[in-house]
Chain A
């Protein structure tokens, strides 16, 4: 017996899923998140799931063999700017680097349109104001040689200076500490002596790579969130122990792996919700047997795209949060502000969608909560794609009149001669095509051919728009997971223990395969030890190598996966992998006949496989889906530019093996799946809806 319990605490909802190891039965529930104390919402969600399984919360937890959770706690601290009073210690002469932000802080993470609004751009609030930055007289050079040694007296002086100003948490980030960490470690020692229990974040421990601003920014943000996050984890562990949890409490990271609460670096848990979605997709696809996957998530305001290539997601080592740079491994997702809540508006003679969103308040006009701006959801309703009585599992009844009035007044009267349907079809077509452009960006522009990919659609509005944004991209198959919403809790349940380590290396290391292999073995060993510490046996641990490379003297790096680059073959393997990837990205004109590939950083992802839910295959039943057919309604298909009486299926009644032709609509609790004209929809052995698009679909 036993359960695998996964949770994802998001900004609005806490999703919980418990999977029985024995039967594969999945129980899911949603509770409102409780930002003042996230533990409350989590406990409520656990209670709901336990009830479904016919258990008490204590019984469920006592019987839980794996407990993994993603939390929005770190994001909450950063996005509300309420964290610890943080001080920074840095090298003399360079206190302002964190304030200068390489000048890019003013526009980091903004899209081109926002960057052009010069007047509105500014740097984010300073986490560490200038007077809480102390400079230590010390200097190390680019080869790690000490130019000015740090004395204990000097270290004590700077630490005391900050303590006297009442800091609650300290970041230490010195120039070139990634090459020689002695000075950072000495300062940590002094802080521990003078202020035992105070949080200390060291730049080189968080990221052993070059870039003084990026390391300092990472250390400062970690120090800023750490006291809150650590306190939260302590409380959560205590509460779960009280509720009889025996299994270790695992925390999901942005990289898609989990770590025990003790091993968790706070900053690495930021944005773990979207990562959880990708982990869920990967777990599902491993079962279904697809290797190359475009994962698409459409919510109310954001459209996110991630890729699995050969069964692996890609990870970035640097990301932007609130305009600050963070050196943390994160599953690579791209996003745009487009979703059900995106507002349609008229700009001169143009019909624009977004970037403003009606969000949840006032929400789309059809919610009847006072919104008067037409949104994508309003267009979906007017066109007949949404059933006004079954939205959000029937919890909200939508007003078609309000949707029509908003579209008519704001769009149709001004651009479409009052034709509301034509206007709504236009809104849907434009948003679909902009989302499709993001899919194109994530695939074609990165050297991947979408024709070899299956597109997975989840999130409330993903299955509703997937057929639209797949059009013209070349994707042939759309897969909508059985549980297309609340997917991230499942992802948490499916996650493995993971440690990624990367290091800057000297350029000439590539010429010495033996030394390079040793360098890899060193960090592999370091990562393995961290994984083993969490009770994973050596035989369950796997490691994959990667590197960041470029042509000599270039400035942009290309990440190269080189799983098999080992032993004497390591250098040749990396070179080959780099040239192949570079050509795929930039074409053959970009290669330089005389330039040699240069190695900048090496990295390993070490994964400790732990229990995960197995999906039990179901028996295929007949093709006839008639039993699930709940009726028909008029739907306006932009593909046909006309209304068609369209069959409606109740997703909860569809059985594995059922087959039917589009145009059709499948209504599921929480989402609506659109099967376009010419497509065929089937239900696979795992209960997923798989839509085969007509080949050569129109734009």
Chain B
């Protein structure tokens, strides 16, 4: 704490600042109208220093708050000279090349002045229901440049000296098709007004010097705490690879590569090796890369801290330009949030989890991936009151949680970037939109198998109902060919996205006859057409039923180590099928729902011997680590490193002896500073072995599953989803667990 700031004053002022960001968030939600913003809480708020450094963020979506710094920076650079910043001004901006994540995420920021001294900023950012452009909802699958996408606002003075520029409001409203957007816009202004009002009171009460000192100290405190946590972790390099399976125009597998180097109290997060940007809209610009990377660090390493730029100070982001994560003007990026950004968040999350799992005192803090992608599903039509409606179907926010190292992932637990999970109720949706839901069900086998199972996702079936005129739908997203929710420590990936249209369903006849309606995917009538996931606006016929499911969470640990009773309970709860129970978990569940103990032991023995019979030495399959790996691990282990560490309860490292051994059977897996996977056996198979809906429905085999076994006891130590070529995951410890 700085000299002229005492801990009591700090605490008193800090609490009021945090309350302010929360109040801003609540007021924003309560005055906005869009179901995405309010129904799914796709927004956030924040208070920043005069230079834009984030002091504190409000509730809801973390990436939305992380953009504020870059946007304020753009406002300052582009507008401070002219037309200038003054009290009562607010600037609106959604330009992805100036800090925003994608065009539908709009931020409004307001400078706060004490006298004529710029003393702070407040800001709010959220997902608008529509932003104009050729596709409703703002996701244009056909876009080849940013000009094909929606309205792009550079920093624009939407409020001038306390008055809303109604001409600009009208300019915006005349570009968008959905009148509700005006509520989203005014909600941001209300939120910022509340923030300015509270800051005025706080500055009046305590004086500019004290409040400024508190804001700065609030960031420094977080920085110190995170640095201390980093020092307590081992030094090393962890690399993970994630996939974007579709570019908007076509299936097109691209890799995002993230190499984390942790040294002392710093993290370097390097995206070298990531595939180039593509013509379609599934790219992200730098603002999205930064927001998603920092969000992952906040969630895994800063869970007990205030989320602000104290976290950013510990992280160096290295990213070459022109990649799928650093797309350059005018590459289209409108789908960034539900593709590149969330996939990247999960990528960094996976690498950080492996870092945490490499330190005994942090084992519990690692997690398998949560549902790895999001979707943009819009259903358009006139409802039975004659109102034009665009339903943003957002059931997919009930996504599967990642398994913990000591417990299952949460079933339908929400999407990782949102601290305040929520999905709309069926009744709320049917009342407003001309739709009939046939079911919304948790999806059996969608949780990644493991000693601890990943959380289930769900699936939903919808038909047009009572629309005046034709209905249309669009469907955007990634993650159908590839499951993106990877397991950890031998756990398997959760389900991928599936989009199936049941045409010639005969549903109108069923309705006319008052007959029973189908209530599960197995009983849906009609001709099932597995449909590509980026499908532009198309007619939604009254005798078509659209079904889709989203991604489940990844599992943790070897599935055959899961307690057989838990597997039987999962079967009873419809979380696991009898078939997956047998094939993947090696558990025989009787028709009465009981575990057949003897048959289970035999099944598990068979799995173990099958592994030893089929798998091959990893070095024979993977060859030598690729060049990037060499570059990253050019440095050997820390000179003179001694002591021990462990990777979960899976691998033990002895630095004095420079050995890595299987924690169960002590098989020597190589040196302590090498990637232990190269000392394992590996079995390469289609991802479908993890269960149904792992991409097999699309038949492209874009990725494969590599399961690594201990050559001694056949324990499944790691299971990775990998592309046939290119850089792959890497693990390299340079020292045992760090200092406290």
Kindly list chain B residues whose C-beta atoms are within 8 Å of the C-beta of A102: 398, 422-425
- Rounded to whole Å, the gap between the CB of A591 and the closest CB of chain B is 8
Interface residue? A81 (CB, 8 A): no
Interface residue? A699 (CB, 8 A): yes
Is the CB–CB distance between A131 and B514 below 8 Å?
A: no
Is the CB–CB distance between A556 and B437 below 8 Å?
A: no
Is the CB–CB distance between A350 and B410 below 8 Å?
A: no
Q: Knowing A112-B22, A555-B33 are in contact, say whether A589-B221 is a contact too (CB < 8 A).
A: no
Kindly list chain A residues whose C-beta atoms are within 8 Å of the C-beta of B6: 426
- Rounded to whole Å, the gap between the CB of A526 and the closest CB of chain B is 23
Interface 0/1 of A53-95, CB less than 8 Å to B: 0000000000000000000000000000000000000001111
Is the CB–CB distance between B421 and A589 below 8 Å?
A: no
Docked CA distance A530–B421 (Å): 39
Q: Knowing A94-B440, A103-B412, A348-B221 are in contact, say whether A175-B32 is a contact too (CB < 8 A).
A: no
- Rounded to whole Å, the gap between the CB of A96 and the closest CB of chain B is 5
Kindly list chain B residues whose C-beta atoms are within 8 Å of the C-beta of A112: 18, 22, 58-59, 419
Kindly list chain B residues whose C-beta atoms are within 8 Å of the C-beta of A699: 12, 205-206
Docked CA distance A130–B205 (Å): 55
Interface residue? A433 (CB, 8 A): yes
Contact segment of A34-42, A138-146, A190-198? A138-146
Interface residue? B8 (CB, 8 A): yes
Docked CA distance A130–B436 (Å): 24
Is the CB–CB distance between B442 and A553 below 8 Å?
A: no
Kindly list chain B residues whose C-beta atoms are within 8 Å of the C-beta of A589: 164, 186, 189-190, 193
Q: Find the B residue at minimum CB distance from A210.
A: B427
Is the CB–CB distance between B458 and A96 below 8 Å?
A: yes
Is the CB–CB distance between B7 and A437 below 8 Å?
A: no
Docked CA distance A119–B303 (Å): 9
Interface residue? A107 (CB, 8 A): yes
User: Per a CB cutoff under 8 Å, which of A99, A349, A433, A556 touches B412?
Assistant: A99
Kindly list chain A residues whose C-beta atoms are within 8 Å of the C-beta of B7: 349-351, 415-416, 426
User: Per a CB cutoff under 8 Å, which of A116, A146, A556, A586 touches B38?
Assistant: A556
Is the CB–CB distance between A348 and B225 below 8 Å?
A: yes
Is the CB–CB distance between A97 and B426 below 8 Å?
A: yes
Contact segment of B68-76, B516-524, B577-585, B725-733? B516-524
Docked CA distance A586–B194 (Å): 8
Q: Knowing A119-B367, A210-B427 are in contact, say whether A148-B516 is a contact too (CB < 8 A).
A: yes
Interface residue? B527 (CB, 8 A): no
Q: Knowing A100-B398, A349-B1 are in contact, say whether A148-B410 is a contact too (CB < 8 A).
A: no
Q: Find the B residue at minimum CB distance from A138.
A: B516
Interface residue? A106 (CB, 8 A): yes
User: Per a CB cutoff under 8 Å, which of A141, A211, A507 touches B465?
Assistant: A141
- Rounded to whole Å, the gap between the CB of A332 and the closest CB of chain B is 15
Is the CB–CB distance between B307 and A116 below 8 Å?
A: yes
Is the CB–CB distance between B419 and A115 below 8 Å?
A: yes
Interface residue? B317 (CB, 8 A): no
Q: Which of B356-379 contact A (CB under 8 A)?
A: 364-365, 367
Is the CB–CB distance between B397 and A103 below 8 Å?
A: yes
Interface residue? B413 (CB, 8 A): yes
Kindly list chain A residues whose C-beta atoms are within 8 Å of the C-beta of B437: 93
Is the CB–CB distance between B32 and A93 below 8 Å?
A: no
- Rounded to whole Å, the gap between the CB of A342 and the closest CB of chain B is 13
Q: Find the A residue at minimum CB distance from B205.
A: A699
Kindly list chain A residues whose C-beta atoms are within 8 Å of the C-beta of B427: 142, 175-176, 210-212
Kindly list chain A residues whose C-beta atoms are within 8 Å of the C-beta of B401: 106
Interface residue? B224 (CB, 8 A): yes
User: Per a CB cutoff under 8 Å, which of B10, B414, B458 touches A106?
Assistant: B414
User: Per a CB cutoff under 8 Å, which of A101, A119, A148, A553 touches B514?
Assistant: A148
Docked CA distance A42–B186 (Å): 55
Interface residue? A149 (CB, 8 A): yes
Kindly list chain A residues whose C-beta atoms are within 8 Å of the C-beta of B461: 93
Kindly list chain A residues whose C-beta atoms are within 8 Å of the C-beta of B27: 586
Q: Knowing A99-B442, A102-B398, A556-B31 are in contact, say whether A142-B12 is a contact too (CB < 8 A).
A: no
Q: Which of B1-57 contact A (CB under 8 A)?
A: 1, 6-8, 10-12, 15-16, 18-19, 22-23, 27, 29-35, 38-39
Interface of A, helix, strand, loop or mixed by DSSP:
mixed
Interface residue? B290 (CB, 8 A): no
Is the CB–CB distance between B430 and A141 below 8 Å?
A: yes
Docked CA distance A595–B181 (Å): 12
Q: Which of B162-216 contact A (CB under 8 A)?
A: 164, 180, 182-183, 186-187, 189-190, 193-194, 205-206
User: Per a CB cutoff under 8 Å, which of A104, A472, A585 touches B422?
Assistant: A104
- Rounded to whole Å, the gap between the CB of B513 and the closest CB of chain A is 9
Interface residue? A352 (CB, 8 A): yes
Interface residue? A535 (CB, 8 A): no
Q: Which of B393-412 contact A (CB under 8 A)?
A: 397-399, 401, 404, 407, 410-412
Q: Knowing A148-B514, A176-B427, A589-B193 are in contact, say whether A122-B413 is a contact too (CB < 8 A).
A: yes
Interface residue? A390 (CB, 8 A): no
Kindly list chain A residues whose C-beta atoms are within 8 Å of the C-beta of B519: 92-94, 135, 137
Kindly list chain A residues whose C-beta atoms are within 8 Å of the C-beta of B573: 129-131
Kindly list chain A residues whose C-beta atoms are within 8 Å of the C-beta of B31: 554, 556, 586, 590
Interface residue? A430 (CB, 8 A): yes
Is the CB–CB distance between A587 and B421 below 8 Å?
A: no
Docked CA distance A568–B441 (Å): 46
- Rounded to whole Å, the gap between the CB of B716 and the closest CB of chain A is 23
Interface 0/1 of A394-407, CB less than 8 Å to B: 00000000000000
Docked CA distance A589–B159 (Å): 11
Interface residue? B642 (CB, 8 A): no
Interface residue? B511 (CB, 8 A): yes
Interface residue? A316 (CB, 8 A): no
Q: Which of A497-554 contact B (CB under 8 A)?
A: 507, 551, 553-554
Is the CB–CB distance between A210 and B431 below 8 Å?
A: yes
Docked CA distance A297–B422 (Å): 32
Interface residue? A213 (CB, 8 A): yes
Kindly list chain B residues whose C-beta atoms are within 8 Å of the C-beta of A141: 430, 436, 465-466
Q: Knowing A92-B519, A350-B10 are in contact, say whether A119-B404 is a contact too (CB < 8 A).
A: yes
Is the CB–CB distance between A99 and B32 below 8 Å?
A: no
Q: Which of A421-465 contact B (CB under 8 A)?
A: 425-426, 429-430, 433-434, 437, 440-441, 445
Docked CA distance A586–B24 (Å): 10
Is the CB–CB distance between A430 and B441 below 8 Å?
A: no
User: Per a CB cutoff under 8 Å, which of B12, B190, B442 touches A100?
Assistant: B442
Is the CB–CB distance between B425 and A212 below 8 Å?
A: yes
User: Per a CB cutoff under 8 Å, which of A97, A101, A348, A590 touches B224?
Assistant: A348
User: Per a CB cutoff under 8 Å, which of A131, A434, A445, A590 touches B15?
Assistant: A434
Kindly list chain B residues whose C-beta atoms are within 8 Å of the C-beta of A139: 517
Q: Which of B427-467 contact A (CB under 8 A)?
A: 427-428, 430-431, 436-442, 458, 461, 465-466
Interface residue? A214 (CB, 8 A): yes
Q: Find the B residue at minimum CB distance from A557.
A: B30
Kindly list chain A residues whose C-beta atoms are within 8 Å of the C-beta of B518: 93
Is the CB–CB distance between B419 and A551 below 8 Å?
A: no
Q: Knowing A100-B412, A351-B8 are in contact, say whether A116-B303 is a contact too (CB < 8 A).
A: yes
- Rounded to whole Å, the gap between the CB of B36 and the closest CB of chain A is 10
Cross-chain pairs A/B with CB under 8 angstroms, 29 sampled = A96-B412, A96-B441, A99-B412, A101-B412, A107-B414, A112-B59, A113-B304, A116-B304, A118-B299, A119-B367, A122-B413, A123-B410, A130-B573, A142-B430, A147-B514, A211-B427, A212-B426, A416-B7, A426-B6, A426-B7, A433-B11, A441-B23, A553-B180, A554-B31, A554-B32, A554-B38, A555-B34, A556-B38, A590-B31
New A-B contacts (6) at CB < 8 Å, excluding given A117-B304, A211-B428, A434-B15: A93-B437, A100-B398, A107-B420, A115-B59, A147-B436, A350-B10
Q: Which B residues lie at the A interface, using CB under 8 A?
A: 1, 6-8, 10-12, 15-16, 18-19, 22-23, 27, 29-35, 38-39, 58-59, 164, 180, 182-183, 186-187, 189-190, 193-194, 205-206, 221, 224-225, 228, 298-299, 303-304, 307, 364-365, 367, 385, 397-399, 401, 404, 407, 410-414, 416, 419-428, 430-431, 436-442, 458, 461, 465-466, 511, 514-520, 572-574
